[in-house]
Amino acid sequence: MNAALPNAVQEAIDWMACQRSGYFDAQQQRTFEQWLAADPQHQHAWQQLQQRLQATFAGVDGLSGRTLAKDRPVRRRALLRGALGLGGLAAGSYCLTPGWQLARLRADLSTGTAQRERIPLPGGSSLLLNAQSAVNLHFEGRRRDVELLEGGVIAEVLASQRDDLRLCSRQGIASMAEGRCMMMLDADQSRVWALRHSLRVTHRNGSQMMLTQGQGARLTASGIEIISTPAERADAWSQGRLEARNHALATVIDALRPYHRGVLTLSPEAARLKISGVFSLDHSEQALAAMADVLPLRVERVFGFWTRVTLA
């Protein structure tokens, strides 16, 4: 969250994200109403947030923001592209929810919290999107490009008379004629794996590397480097698992966050702990409890939607 925002605005954005997460029960509604009544600044921030959303989405093909939010991503993108001007929206409105939610607005395909989805592609190939992930598709003529905007994706690639299927990110491109490959997008890097057959990786600076089956690489601002995480562990999310082998807890929590409903925070002290184990992505509360069984952690749920992990 942007630290420059007033606390009331940050809290209003968190409440909006919670309400739109698909997990908002009667108890959370009562807690929200108590928060709203506790301070006039809360009411003002919430009203301003609603007004910004209404102003943003008003008149888009006659749809309200509520209807637009429920629309399919491809249709929503077409409406937004013609009516909003997302560049100005991103720069000028504090009401946008972070990261993946903005990516969803401009994506052809996207997934929500705790949702994995397999999507067929022209020619018989397919994609498996991780939770809170978003992609754009560019399939014109011989071209078959998948632009990863947020999260992670596995591509099952069938041989075709078209060009190689390419997974594209800000840092570079991973291309494959046939086989299975994966790309995961982080804040400042992309990670790719050749899950079946070889994979060509091209950095935006022009440098290239061939990955053999099972190998992975990291694309950063400076170039391409091999990473040690084996493919079978890296793609465990496709089976709903989170596998850690002496990983920093911060890394594990980052992987769990797209599957956790509500806000999940980790204290800096706890983030430095190391952990090993296999955890369920689809049952994030159980996963957190299991982590607390092996590490000195306190897992607290605040306001019914905020989970806070700290040192015990």
The predicted-structure confidence for 272-303, as pLDDT tens digits, reads as follows 999 999 999 999 999 999 999 999 999 998 87
The per-residue pLDDT of the chain, averaged, comes to 81
Distance CA 54, CA 65 (A): 6
- Number of Cβ within 10 Å of residue 131's Cβ equals 23
Q: What is the pLDDT of residues 204-237, one digit of tens each?
A: 999 999 999 999 999 999 999 999 888 888 899 9
pLDDT at residue 246 tops 70 = yes
Predicted confidence at residue 105, as pLDDT, reads: 61
- Distance in angstroms (rounded) separating the CA atoms of residues 217 and 195: 12
Strand spans (E) along the chain: 109-110, 117-120, 126-129, 134-138, 145-150, 152-157, 165-168, 172-176, 179-185, 190-196, 199-203, 208-211, 216-219, 224-227, 241-248, 263-266, 274-280, 297-302, 306-311
How large is the average pLDDT for residues 75-89?
Answer: 33
For residues 61-67, give the mean pLDDT: 37
Structure tokens at 285: 């509360």
Residue 66 has pLDDT above 90, yes or no: no
Q: Is 168 exposed, middle or buried (0-12, 13-18, 19+ CB in 10 A)?
A: buried
pLDDT in tens, 165-196: 999 999 999 999 999 999 999 988 999 999 99
In the predicted model, is pLDDT for residue 63 greater than 90?
no
Beta-bridged to residue 135, according to DSSP, are 109, 148
Q: What is the pLDDT of residue 90?
A: 30
pLDDT, tens only, 1-24: 333 456 777 677 767 766 655 556
Q: In what order do the strands lie in the sheet with 263-266?
A: 263-266, 306-311, 297-302
